[in-house]
Amino acid sequence: MCFIPYEPTKFLEETYFEIEDELTSSISTNEFIATERYRKRKQRREELSFKPYILRVKKAKTPSMQLSSNALEDLDNLISSVYQMYSSELKRLTSLTKKKNLSIKDVETATKLCIPGKRKDSAMNFGRYCVNFQELGMKQTPMEV
């Protein structure tokens, strides 16, 4: 502490600030900055977006086609809703079967429950096609729809 000359009003103000500084100095600024960085990183991870993958597939299939931001947003919302629907159904199936791993049959069952009508059959065929190529270790070629 430093020596402060006696002036009644100034003495009270300066001692008050010295006490306040002593209380707040218990937390270092490095720890505060580290927690702020952690919070920012944690907030960024919550957002799930498929936009980069949509653009990659578009570029591979039709590079000359352009996609507006509204169309990209709609496709992203569609894919994320399907993803959430599948993940909730798969979570329910794994809790019922009490298994830790997913099998091909679990994914087929989730597809049967999530997709209605004739789309279900074509989705099942496409899924089997992809699994067969993956098991054989071949390079996948796009299936004709």
Question: Looking at this protein, which amino acid is placed at residue 95?
Answer: S
Residue 101's pLDDT is 87
Check if the beta carbon of residue 118 is closer than 8 Å to that of residue 145.
no
Considering only residues 83 and 14, tell me which one the structure prediction assigns the higher pLDDT: 83
In the chain, which residue ranges form alpha helices assigned H by DSSP? 8-24, 29-45, 51-61, 69-97, 104-114, 117-136
17-44 residue pLDDT tens:
444 444 444 455 556 566 666 666 665 5
pLDDT at position 13 is: 45
Query: According to the model, what pLDDT value does residue 56 have?
Result: 95
What domains can you pick out in the chain, each with its CATH number?
A: 52-58+67-139 (1.10.20.10)
Mean pLDDT across the chain: 76
Task: End-to-end CA distance of the chain: give it in Å, rounded.
Answer: 81
Share above pLDDT 70 across residues of the chain, in percent, rounded to a whole number: 63
Given a contact cutoff of 8 angstroms between Cβ atoms, the answer to whether 135 and 127 are in contact is no
Tokens of 112: 């049967």
Taken in order 48, 51, 56, 60, the sign of the CA dihedral is positive
Q: Please write the tens of the pLDDT for every residue from 79-95.
A: 999 899 989 999 998 88
Element spanning 67, H or E: none
pTM surpassing 0.95? no
| Dihedral angle computed from the Cα positions of residues 70, 49, 84 and 124, in that order, rounded to the nearest 10 degrees | 80
Longest dimension (CA), the chain: 91
C-beta separation of 38 from 20 below 8 A: no
pLDDT for 107 equals: 86
Report the pLDDT averaged over residues 133-139: 74
Which tokens sit at 113?
């429950």
